[in-house]
């Protein structure tokens, strides 16, 4: 079944597409994959946390490897047995000489994950702060999980030996864990919604690829006229003017024209200027540079006419030989650029919506 937002994208109605997605009820996103990265320092209990979430004992062959020494050296996925499309990813420890920041960044690309669980024992460290900063820069969310309650018990006993009550301390830790796990369970659909929003521009890629073909077919008569006009020995500024008109046709078809961008900006609470800043397709300055080789043909035409005093046949043929392939490439690049810009604009428009979804 074709979703309403897909129809809107194909029609160049970006504001309508975003509105359709944001209006979806949470259960719509239940089938969206949610990749949860479990990160932290070596030995902090990441693998043990994953096993607890999966309901597996450490000796289960399906369980994540645990031990006193660092046991996780490769990123590994663990699909949840009962939560659909929820995948936990065990990561190598971060922040030690064995696996420092540079090695971690080369081995692990955090952009691939939708949500993060930062595991730490006893206290919050600079490694955790760095992770939080990276995750927030990506516009994604995280939980911080405290592990190794036995160390907390020892610390509580040392600090207040006179009124130390192990049962009371354990009960407090247990209640805190229950509350956090319940929060995670309740947030799953909202997390999946966030993942869908951040992934939405990529989801639109096949629609935009199909639309590129449709646009090429729909405006083939305009392209043919432009090819003849731009590929002929015409005054230098005329190809620039005609390319500008063609680019406007493309923007209108893809929903990148000024009124469409203004409507999208209003829908997501941004400015049109911010959305336009994300666009990188072929601009007028680049178009002028592409047309500069035409001066070679025009120069030969002028020389042939003034010095040989006859119609510049050779100059015209040279000009057409330069202009036609250049023009065809420019028009194709204009259509592809408009499709790529649509993805960039959607990414810019939805980056804050992904943050607000939790």
**Which has more pLDDT, 55 or 292?**
55
* pLDDT for 168: 76
How far is it, in rounded angstroms, from Cα 93 to Cα 152? 21
Q: Which of 51-65, 78-92, 211-225, 341-355 has the highest mean pLDDT?
A: 78-92
How far is it, in rounded angstroms, from Cα 348 to Cα 330? 26
* The pLDDT of residue 105 is above 60: no
For residues 260 and 13, the answer to whether their CB atoms sit within 8 Å is yes
What share of the chain in percent tops pLDDT 90? 12
- Mean pLDDT, rounded, for 25-35: 89
The overall average pLDDT reported for the chain is 76
* The pLDDT of residue 166 is above 90: no
pTM listed for this prediction:
0.64
- Mean pLDDT, rounded, for 72-90: 83
Alpha-carbon torsion, ordered 34, 266, 249, 279, to 10 deg: -60
Distances (CA, A) of 329 to 173, 195, 238, 322: 65, 36, 17, 11
96: confidence class by pLDDT, cuts 50, 70, 90? very low
Question: Do you know the residue count of the chain?
Answer: 358
Q: H or E stretch including 77?
A: strand 76-79
φ/ψ of 116, rounded to 5, equals -135, 140
SS (H, E, C) 14-59: HHHHHHHHHCCCHHHHCCCCEEEEEEECCCCCHHHHHHHHHCCCCC
For residues 334 and 246, the answer to whether their CB atoms sit within 8 Å is yes
How far is it, in rounded angstroms, from Cα 344 to Cα 194? 18
Q: Which of 119-128, 221-230, 246-255, 317-326 has the highest mean pLDDT?
A: 246-255
176 closest CA partner among 151, 150, 146: 146
25 closest CA partner among 187, 195, 190: 190
φ/ψ of 76, rounded to 5, equals -135, 140
* pLDDT for 257: 92
How far is it, in rounded angstroms, from Cα 241 to Cα 238? 5
- For 154, counting Cβ atoms within 10 Å of its Cβ (0-12 exposed, 13-18 middle, 19+ buried), the class is exposed
How far is it, in rounded angstroms, from Cα 256 to Cα 45? 49
Point out the least confidently predicted range of 43-52, 297-306, 333-342: 297-306
Q: In what order do the strands lie in the sheet with 76-79?
A: 76-79, 86-90, 34-40, 115-121, 141-147
* pLDDT for 219: 59
Angle at CA of residue 260, ends 255 and 261, nearest 5°: 100
* pLDDT for 286: 64
Distances (CA, A) of 241 to 244, 248, 330, 333: 5, 11, 13, 17
Q: Which of 100-109, 179-188, 295-304 has the highest mean pLDDT?
A: 179-188
């Amino acid at each position: 079944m074709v979703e309403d937002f897909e129809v809107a994208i194909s029609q160049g109605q970006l504001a309508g597409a975003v509105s359709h997605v944001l209006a979806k009820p949470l259960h719509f996103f239940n089938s969206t994959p949610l990749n949860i990265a479990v990160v932290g320092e070596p030995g902090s209990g990441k693998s043990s946390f994953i096993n607890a979430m999966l309901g597996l004992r450490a000796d289960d062959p399906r369980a994540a490897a645990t031990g006193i020494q660092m046991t996780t050296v490769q990123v590994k996925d663990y699909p949840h047995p009962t939560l659909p499309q929820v995948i936990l990813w065990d990561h190598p420890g971060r922040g030690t000489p064995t696996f420092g920041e540079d090695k971690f960044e080369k081995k692990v690309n955090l952009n691939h994950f939708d949500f993060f669980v930062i595991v730490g024992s006893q206290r919050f460290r600079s490694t955790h702060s760095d992770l939080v900063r990276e995750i927030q820069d990506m516009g994604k969310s995280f939980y911080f999980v405290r592990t190794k309650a036995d160390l907390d018990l020892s610390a509580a006993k040392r600090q207040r030996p006179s009124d130390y009550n192990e049962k009371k301390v354990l009960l407090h830790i247990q209640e805190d864990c229950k509350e956090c796990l319940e929060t995670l369970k309740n947030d799953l659909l909202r997390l999946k919604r966030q993942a869908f929003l951040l992934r939405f521009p990529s989801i639109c890629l096949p629609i935009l690829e199909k639309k590129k073909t449709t646009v090429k077919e729909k405006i083939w008569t305009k392209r043919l006229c432009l090819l003849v006009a731009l590929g002929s020995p015409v005054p230098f500024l005329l190809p620039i003017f005609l390319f500008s008109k063609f680019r406007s046709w493309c923007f209108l078809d893809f929903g990148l024209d000024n009124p469409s961008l203004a409507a999208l900006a209003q829908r997501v609470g941004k400015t049109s200027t911010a959305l336009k800043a994300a666009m990188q397709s072929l601009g007028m300055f680049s178009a002028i540079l592409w047309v500069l080789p035409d001066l070679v043909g025009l120069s030969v035409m002028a020389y042939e006419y003034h010095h040989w005093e006859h119609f510049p046949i050779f100059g015209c043929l040279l000009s057409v030989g330069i202009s036609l392939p250049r023009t065809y490439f420019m028009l194709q690049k204009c259509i592809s650029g408009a499709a790529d810009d649509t993805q960039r604009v959607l990414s810019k428009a939805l980056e804050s919506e992904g943050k607000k979804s939790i």
